[in-house]
Homo-oligomer: A and B are copies of this chain.
Amino acid sequence: MAKTNKTYQSALQEQDGVESPDSLSANVAKIIKANRKKQPSVKDLVSGITSGNITALSRAITLIESTNPTHSKKANEIITKCLPYANKSIRIGITGVPGVGKSTFIEAFGIHLTTLNKKVAVLAVDPSSSLSRGSILGDKTRMEDLVKNQNAFIRPSPSGDSLGGVARKTRETIILCEAAGFDTIIIETVGVGQSETAVHSMVDFFLLLKLAGAGDELQGIKRGIIEMADAIVINKADGENIKAAKSAKVEFNRALHLYPAKASDWSPKVSLCSALKREGISDVWTMIEDYTKTTSENQYFETNRNNQNKFWLLQTIEDRLKSKFYNSAKIKVELPMQIALVETGKTTPFAAAEYLLSL
């Protein structure tokens, strides 16, 4: 577009648009657009995923994460077709407060696993990432070595407005990663809110990363995190920290013994590591292998996965029932009116609920 001379007659001035560079011909633009639109078929993606093609896997995950109904439909078909190839993995949840060294630990742990010929997928559940508050895993440079590794696949947290949405997407992504041959799935989550409970409900083994003397022991007990943990790993147990880390280990062991025995028959363990110096990392994997052995023998491993599936089935139903009810046009009008009647003592919460349900 050539510039034109305009006579501005108003205080509101109009800026000229940015021109297309001359070097971009109309033809080239057409080719680029056509390529963008060329979407692989469900069949292509499934055969790509099951033969371990990372591009196919990434594209299918993008469909899972999309809010476009056509994409969701396609994603559901892919997941159903991948299901027979999934499930053959160990799913490990890793949590810990910011600063505990989760990224460093996962990098060291992931690299160790690849040296054992494992294929490692690292996912995250972080509902805050959609608020661009700085997603965990969002900055892949924090796992520089792992990211370059042929046998590792790292995917940041899907964005979504609710924990429920993020959790569903991550659970579906696990299935695709397993179908693509990843035998070790690591789900990272931040140590806040309900995310940990959601991740605990989708993994086989739940690992809590801690620092010695961080003084947040009460916090962990209060929020039920320690109760969920299959292992507490005290990170940064190096240099001058070693003594404090050792006494923290004693403390945590004592705390763990106050809890009743787990349904898994597994007694949670406490171990020390230095992710930075890559020390104590292989011990963590040995511990997880012990866990898998114990819980496979006593059938807890399979029972737990079945229970998790039932949990997500019921959870999804209940979330949908609620959102359908509260998003109905009638209820959006009537609910605030009933709340006002309750607040002014004109009706009881129970009578108001009856009325709303009768609409």
Contact = CB atoms under 8 A, between A and B. Distances in A.
Nearest to A79: B348
A66 interface: no
Contact of A325 (B80, B84, B321, B351): B321
A255 to B, nearest CB: 8
B227 A353 contact: no
Nearest to A87: B345
How many subunits of this chain does the assembly comprise?
2
B325 A313 contact: no
Instruction: Identify whether the interface residues of A are mostly helix, strand, loop, or mixed.
Output: helix
Contact of A321 (B306, B309, B321, B348): B321
Nearest to A313: B349
Nearest to A82: B348
A50 interface: no
A217 B258 CA distance: 11
A89 to B, nearest CB: 13
B350 A316 contact: yes
Interface residues of A, number: 47
Given A76-B351, A218-B258, A356 B317 contact: yes
A313 B352 contact: yes
A83 B313 contact: no
Interface in A185-238: 218, 221-222, 224, 227
Interface string A247-276: 000000001001000000000000000000
A316 to B, nearest CB: 4
A310 B222 contact: no
A143 interface: no
